[in-house]
Every structure is written in structure tokens, then in C-alpha cells.
Amino acid sequence: MTTTARPPQPVHFHKMNGLGNEILVVDARGPQTPPPSDDVKAMAIDPRTRFDQMMLLTRPRRPGTEAFVVIFNADGSESSACGNGTRCIGWLESRNTGRSTFQFETKAGLLDVHVENIDRVTVDMGEPRFAWNEIPLAEPFHDTRAIELQIGPIDAPVLHSPSVVNVGNPHAIFWVTDVDSYDLAKFGPMLENHPIFPERANISLAEVRSGTDIKLRVWERGTGLTQACGTAACAAAVAAMRKKLVERSVTVHLPGGKLQITWTPGNRILMTGPVVYEYAGDWTRPAVAAGI
């Protein structure tokens, strides 16, 4: 007796981006089931569905929220927060419902979104965490505005003394005079996987250009060099504010565009920026790869 393998189920998706940070939105709140991990990895490298982060919307766990959002990086690992992706799902929900305010739940907690238009979507990214065990680090540091970590010769390090902060996920920010003078593609993987970061880390090079402007390049955990990273922009901004290098509201310039970051007196980080809607479609794993 022979059995016929069930054909792979198509995955309906929305392709978007936030400042060039490629976002794939998959809504599994209805009849569609979440794609298995092998499909997530395959979609990450398929030219039509390639993403830096996938925002998988699942049924709400808390009353009053729109969805519980599971966030995948391009390597299949999970992330607790994604600012650019949250702006994207907020705008998409606004388009579908006609409303302007939403609350989503992630592993990092509750995120409030306010949509003015496609060019101005604001996310309350929550409170930054600065304690060494909240970031987390592998060993105690009393002052996380600058920790002992360097790349290069001990007497002439190439990069050193980063600020560290958790904004939904771990971030290390190295302060430099010119972000374009460093080979971040070379140093990024080493620093992301440094033993001081037990959960790995997002690595940023930050150039403070004025009291209201920061230029940033980011090596994103689980993704690599990216055009933009919303949580990294938030992390760099609050770290610079904590060091009294900038004011409490700044523009962060990334290769893909700019974000406005405000650290409120109530200890909340507000991130405002645009989104781009590209297209929608259905993805099916190729028959050969699916083993049918």
C-alpha cells in the first residue's frame, strides 16, 4: 500500500520594509498555521520572501492586544523585539482595521503603536535595561556605560569600551569618530558571538554628530549587516543620552534612513519612522526541497 504525501501548504505573506530593513509579515491568527522552522529558514533566502526579520502574528494571549508576535531572524533564531517590524505590523493593522492605535505582545513585553500615516508610525519600545544581568552579560559590571571589551592590540585597540543596554534584546554600542572607517562586516561576527554576551548581541558603531544627531551602522544579531535596526537606534540613543552626549530627543541616521528617538521622563523609549509596503503573495516550499 502506498501513501501520497500531502502537498506543502502555501504561506500567505506581506513583504514590507522599514528603512530598508526587510520585514516579512505572516498572519497566523486565523486559519493559516505558523510555518515550520525549516520553512522559515527557506523563506529567509528565497529572493521573493527574503527577510531580515519575520513577524509572525499568532492569536493574542492577553485581552486587548492584537496578537502575540513571534520574531524570527534570517538565521532562524528568535528575537524578542524588532522596532522596524513593529512599525510595519502596526501600519498593516491600521490599513486593515481603520484604527490608529494598537498593542502587540512580544517576548520582550507589550508594545504600543500609533499610526499617523505610512511615513510616521510611532512605537513605544518600553523601558531600557542597563543592569549587567538584564542585558545579559557573562560577568558583573558596575557601570554599563562602558565595559571592558576591545578588538585589536591591547595597547592600540581598534574598538573598545562599548556601552551596553537591553532594548528587548542585547546591544553593544562602540563610540567612534567615523562609522564608515571600520570594517563592521569583519568585526561584527566576532563581537556578536563574544563570550561576554551569553545570548549574543547586536553590535553598533555610533558617531555623535551633534546634540541631536547620531550616525549609526549595525551588525544585527542573527542577520548581519543591515540597512536599519530600530532597537539598535533606540539603544544607541539612550546610551548616548546616558553618557550626556546628546539631548533627550535625537535623530538617528542609518544607511536606510532616519528614525526619531525620544527617551521620555517616564523612562519610555519612543521610536518614530516610516514603513514601505512592497507586495503580498503566497509562498510554497519547492517540491524537491519538500521531499515530494
The average confidence (pLDDT) of the chain is 94
pLDDT (0 to 100) of residue 204: 98
d(Cα 170, Cα 135) in Å, to the nearest integer?
A: 5
pLDDT (0 to 100) of residue 8: 66
Specify whether 82 is catalytic: yes
Average pLDDT over residues 134-151: 97
Location of C-alpha cell 546634540: 211
Q: For the segment 75-89, what is each residue's pLDDT rounded down to a tens digit?
A: 999 998 899 999 999
Whether the predicted pLDDT of 24 surpasses 90 = yes
Q: For the segment 30-51, what is each residue's pLDDT rounded down to a tens digit?
A: 999 999 999 999 999 999 999 9
In percent, how much of the chain has pLDDT > 90?
Answer: 91
Helix (H) or strand (E) holding 281: strand 276-283
pLDDT (0 to 100) of residue 287: 58
Strands (E) across 149-196 are located at 150-151, 159-160, 163-166, 170-175
Whether the predicted pLDDT of 226 surpasses 70 = yes
Other Cβ atoms within 10 Å of 4 Cβ, number: 6
pLDDT (0 to 100) of residue 190: 94
Whether the predicted pLDDT of 106 surpasses 50 = yes
Q: Which amino acid is at 63?
A: P
Would the pTM of this model clear 0.85, i.e. be above it? yes
Choosing from 67, 165, 196, 229, which is the catalytic residue?
A: 229
| Model confidence band, residue 203 (pLDDT cutoffs 50, 70, 90) | very high
d(Cα 131, Cα 151) in Å, to the nearest integer?
A: 23
Choosing from 16, 82, 88, 214, which is the catalytic residue?
A: 82
Whether the predicted pLDDT of 9 surpasses 90 = no
Helix (H) or strand (E) holding 254: strand 249-254
Whether the predicted pLDDT of 7 surpasses 60 = no
pLDDT (0 to 100) of residue 2: 45
Specify whether 88 is catalytic: no
pLDDT (0 to 100) of residue 48: 96
pLDDT (0 to 100) of residue 286: 74
pLDDT (0 to 100) of residue 292: 39
**Measured between alpha carbons, how far is residue 255 from residues 178, 214, 236, 242, 264 in Å?**
14, 12, 15, 24, 26
- Please give the DSSP secondary-structure letter assigned to residue 38: H
Average pLDDT over residues 68-73: 97
Domains of the chain: 11-126+276-284 (3.10.310.10), 150-267 (3.10.310.10)
Average pLDDT over residues 13-27: 97
Among 162, 106, 161, 108, residue whose Cα is nearest residue 134: 108
